[in-house]
Structure 1
Amino acid sequence: MRKLIESTFVSLDGIIDDTRPSTASRAEPQHWCQPYWDEDHAGYAGKLMTSADAMLLGRVTYEGFAEAWSARDGEQADLMNGLPKYVASRTLTETTWNATLLKGDVAEEVAKLKEQPGGTILKWGTGELDRTLVEHGLVDEFHFWYFPVIVGAGKHLFEGAGFDTTHLKLAEVNQFGSGLVVHVYVPR
């Protein structure tokens, strides 16, 4: 069975993104993460990317990534652009950027993807899709990238998720010179 890895950026005060509509553009991860994007960050992200042979994305992350990466080139961009992508959305009717729209029940579709032959499925970003994934026990590893910054406003990790308490086991800690720390958790 394929493994599904969830990877998301988190500030020390639990912020993962700006709220919509925007209340504080400083809460957008590209503003508070960028000072920590160094060789350690790139190496770890590259390791995650090369371990995967597909990506699972919610609509918001898919649209942001497609805009940011589709026009880029280089080793990491080529890897990102080349990976097959599966997109969960209630509003999209078509996709581009090497992506397939998941149709029907998302939990069932992701469970089917995990049963197919292949390697790791990598999911970047935490949002609405995660409610379903966590509720149905479909995430095999969580990689929470804790950035040494307090944002002060924005959307919190798993805000309003609505699923039952989910206990995790700390499996690994990766600390970088910049102060960025990645905690890897697995279900108990």
Structure 2
Amino acid sequence: MSRELVWTGFMSLDGVVDSPGGVEEGHRGGGWVLSTEFLPEAFALKGEELEETTALMFGRRSYEAFAPVWIGSEDHTAYKDLPKYVVSTGLEEHSLVDGWGPTEILRSVEDVAALKQGDGGAIFVHGSAELARALAEADLIDRYNLLVFPVLLGAGKGLFSTADTDRQHLHLRESEAYPNGVLKVVYDVVH
């Protein structure tokens, strides 16, 4: 039995995952999560994930954006001592954030496949749209935990490939709609 690999994140209704927290993240429409009325119940999925997460995985850019912030974030204290994996061909060991628990650099999708075959629980991939597409193309993602926001951004990084790929079936595990327009959808990938 292999470890479950879960992509989790925020998405606009038109599929953009780019810059949910602010324009400094690179997208001119950044900060779109913060422009939606905050309802704690709409973010309950994030708390549920904390209980299930046994390791974190990032692409290089997402790691460089999250690590310096999450290391001191009260909301992410539970992540501090968890194993972390950064998938990057160029990141060097000396660039890793000190004091944020064990972190290993994986150099390829094949390294991720090997990690999945090891012992342990669920590995959650945060952000990292380019990595998520590569992992999906290699049939390594097992579940998508999505919070879909009621906004159309028109452009930006998408989670899913726009290339001509084979059909991929998903099974709806859970869904819920909230009064602020946010939708929670949790899909299992049918392998």
Query: For the superposition of Structure 1 and Structure 2, which TM-score range results when normalised by the shorter chain?
Result: 0.7 to 0.9
Q: Distance in 2 between matches of 1:6 and 1:23?
A: 21
Whether the 8 Å contact between 2:57 and 2:85 is mirrored in structure 1 is yes
Change (3 A) 1:36 1:80: farther
Which position in structure 2 is the counterpart of 1:100? 104
85-94 or 9-18, larger mean C-alpha shift: 9-18
Q: Distance in 2 between matches of 1:23 and 1:116?
A: 37
**Superposition TM-score, scaled by structure 1 size:** 0.83
After TM superposition, where is structure 1 displaced by more than 4 Å over at least 4 residues in a row? 159-163
Map residues 1-188 of structure 1 onto 2, 5 A cutoff: 1-17=2-18, 22=26, 24=28, 26=29, 28=30, 31-34=31-34, 35-73=36-74, 76-94=75-93, 95-96=96-97, 97-98=100-101, 99-103=103-107, 106-160=108-162, 163-188=165-190
- Identical positions, percent: 35
Change (3 A) 1:5 1:23: closer
What are the ranges of 5 or more consecutive residues in structure 1 without an aligned counterpart? none
Q: Which structure carries more relative contact order (alpha carbon 8 Å, separation 6+)?
A: 1
Change (3 A) 1:108 1:36: farther
Whether the 8 Å contact between 1:36 and 1:180 is mirrored in structure 2 is no
**Superposition TM-score, scaled by structure 2 size:** 0.81
CA root-mean-square deviation: 2.5
Q: Which amino acid aligns with 2:92?
A: T
Q: 1:124, CA displacement in angstroms?
A: 1.2
Change (3 A) 1:55 1:79: same
What are the ranges of 5 or more consecutive residues in structure 2 without an aligned counterpart? none
Q: Which amino acid aligns with 1:114?
A: K
Change (3 A) 1:36 1:53: farther
Q: Distance in 1 between matches of 2:170 and 2:117?
A: 23
Change (3 A) 1:22 1:55: closer
Secondary structure of 1:49's partner? helix
